[in-house]
Structure 1
Amino acid sequence: MNITEFVGGKIRQYRKGKGKTLEELSSASGLTVNYLSMIEKGEANATLMKLEPIIYALEINWTDIIPIKHDEEKR
């Protein structure tokens, strides 16, 4: 698993955990449903500027989606 897949998976995990659809996250973040889907699948390498509105919309912290050493050892 690479970093884009890891971050995308975490975003999907938090989105679903909060009961939000891609459409709701799109509306809240200003990013398209297609782009968000690509991020979640690890198919798009989102910049920090694109991740920021997602984090804000999900009401999470950067540390919730960025791998730490422990996570890296699992990969």
Structure 2
Amino acid sequence: MDASGRRLRRHRWQGVLYVDGELKSSTAVPKLWHAGGPVALGRIRWNNANTDFWQGAIGDVRLYQGVLTPEQVMTLFRS
């Protein structure tokens, strides 16, 4: 982990998923990408059409432009 909290492994980024303040999953992300459109939750976009809609509820989703440290994640969870 570098000083800003980014997880690096063999020059790869590490994608992490926290649920209720607890680390649930992580995976190597070999290449960063820059999305060219808006954020979409609960569906995918395929062949210019929205499809595969999530069959359930989605709540309290937070997106951040920068990297959060594990300590920052816990602070947000507790607040």
TM-score clears 0.5? no
> TM-score, normalised on structure 1?
0.22
Query: Taking CA–CA contacts closer than 8 Å with sequence separation of 6 or more, which of the two structures ends up with the larger relative contact order?
Result: 1
> TM-score, normalised on structure 2?
0.21
Structure number with bigger Rg: 2
